[in-house]
Amino acid sequence: MANTDSVKVRVLSLNCWGIRYLSKQCPQRYAMIGDMLCKEEHDIVLLQEVWSEKDYLSLKKKLACSHPHSHYFKSGVIGSGLAIFSIHRIHDTFLFRYSLNGYPYMAHHGDWFGGKAVGMAVLNIGSLTANVYVTHLHAEYCRDKDSYLPHRVVQAWELQQFIRHTSAGADMVILGGDLNMHPQDLGNRLLRSYTGLQDAYLETAKFDGCEDGMTLIADNPFINKKELCPFEKGIRIDYILFKGSTKTDIYCDYMSTTKGSAPNHPFPYSDHEALTAGLRLETHTQTQSDRQPKIKDSAAGKLAALVDIVTEARTEVKVGLHCAEGMRYTATRTGVMGLALLVLELAIAAVPWLALGTEQPFPRTSFYLLAALCFAILLTTFLLYIFYTMELKALQGAEDQMRLAVGSLQEKLRGFPLAQPHNAPRRPPEGHEPSALAPEE
């Protein structure tokens, strides 16, 4: 490789657990986080769960010198909770809200109100363009019976689509965030295989942090150990992922996580561990065609694996479709019953002989209470019907896109040795092509 030029970028990702008045030691922890960021001067800081804009603004004030550029992504009722701080100028930002994000009536889980999304910022690092993404997917409350799994799979699908389609012009892609998925979970495999993003923990030359790179650990005093069960020591659900481009190679020189405590403080920064990755970007003057031969070796195998993963995701979305259809049916049936009850009540009140021959009129108190109940049922089931219809549309939409993608990937796979040399020089491997076709980095 001739004529390389190297750029170093230090990235931090942290789920701040910043629910005002509910998260423990929230103001103190924000102060600690601010001090640490000010001191450490990472190039890029990706924060999640900064639920209050006030907390973002106080961090922004504190980091005005160390990180003059920042953006807070607004979405949903509460906000997306996503924030980015940068040493380098942010030229452009864009937000993609996931089409599915739990249920509004599951208020105790609260995900729906957060308006989960993926935020993108375009930075210029020297003469290079970096697309930086920060996201937070739907939480997993019960791994054995995870009713949110189809929603999270659709979020992972939309995340990979968003990154793939928006990163074609970037020299460097960085994604940081709380994916709420274990390393080998379906959504994670889908994301990494389709985009070609590499996991900093798996790629790093040096690692200093929790065992197995865990980011939600039993040793963290804010963690309820029972909730981690059956993973006694902890789980890895926060990530820093990265990739280069046809013009650049990217390496992870080191990675670290906090270990359930913060230096010189009585408690840690958050219930999640903070991740830091030291990335090194090398630009080269090799053209794409020089590097083309590398592609063919393993691309067909990767493509076949990708087809399997997308098919698996499609199956999961179909399960979600089945559930949503069932819930919409239940809402409809309940609504019809409420309507029937109301009609019956009105009929009894209007036609006295219907009241089984008794001379007594319909008691007024019961009449009004029953009528109020019927109206409440009708209104609730109507709102639920609308909500489930939107959920169904979103699931069907994702399933359609997956079917189309599988068809397209399979066609590529069939004609692989023939089609590749014809099309390859015109299209960049990332962006519009699955990165199973991307050069090995």
Residues across the chain: 441
Regarding 226 and contact with a copy of itself (CB under 8 A), the answer is no
Residue 64 binds to a copy of itself (criterion: CB under 8 A): no
Q: How far is CA 98 from CA 13, 83, 117, 258, in A?
A: 20, 17, 5, 30
* Total binding residues toward a copy of itself, as defined by CB under 8 A: 62
| Cα separation, 88 vs 129, whole angstroms | 11
Among 40, 92, 208, 211, binds a copy of itself (CB under 8 A): 92
Q: Catalytic residue at 272?
A: yes
Task: Give the range of 72-80, 288-296, 317-325, 329-337 binding a copy of itself by CB under 8 A.
Answer: 72-80
The 345-384 contact track toward a copy of itself, x by CB under 8 A, reads -------------------xx--xx-xx--x---x-----
Q: Tell which one of 36, 87, 122, 186 touches a copy of itself (CB under 8 A).
A: 122
If the CB atoms of residues 137 and 172 are measured against a copy of itself, the closer one turns out to be 172
Stretch that binds a copy of itself, among 116-124, 138-146, 270-278, 284-292 (CB under 8 A): 116-124
Residue 316 CB partners (closer than 8 Å, separation 6+): 149, 150, 153, 186
Question: By CB under 8 A, is residue 285 in contact with a copy of itself?
Answer: no
Of 91, 272, 322, 422, the active-site residue reads 272
Beta carbons within 10 angstroms of residue 405's beta carbon? 20
Q: Is 244 in the site for a copy of itself (CB under 8 A)?
A: no
Contact 362, 344 (CB under 8 A): no
Tally of CB atoms within 10 A around 70: 19
Interacting positions 385-404 with a copy of itself (CB under 8 A):
386, 389-390, 393-394, 396-397, 400-401, 404
Q: Residue 39 carries which side chain, given as an amino acid letter?
A: K
Alpha-carbon span 37 to 383, nearest angstrom: 44
50 interacts with a copy of itself by CB under 8 A: no
* 142-161 footprint of a copy of itself as x/- string (CB under 8 A): -------------------x
- Residue 351 carries which DSSP code? -
Site for a copy of itself in 245-274 (CB under 8 A): none
Q: What is the CA radius of gyration of the chain?
A: 26
| C-beta of residue 112 within 8 angstroms of C-beta of residue 102 | yes
* Interacting residues of 425 by C-beta distance below 8 A, sequence separation 6+: 288, 289, 292
Q: Residue 422, exposed/middle/buried by CB under 10 A (0-12, 13-18, 19+)?
A: exposed
Closest to a copy of itself by CB, 31 or 95? 95
Q: Which one of 14-22, 54-62, 163-171, 180-188 is the stretch in contact with a copy of itself (CB under 8 A)?
A: 163-171
- Fill in the DSSP letter of residue 207: E
d(CA 248, CA 289): 14
Interface ranges with a copy of itself (CB under 8 A): 71-77, 79, 89-97, 99, 115, 120, 122, 124, 127-129, 131, 161-162, 165-166, 168-171, 364-365, 368-369, 371-372, 375, 379, 386, 389-390, 393-394, 396-397, 400-401, 404-405, 408, 411, 422-423, 426-428, 431-432
Point out the residues that are catalytic. 272
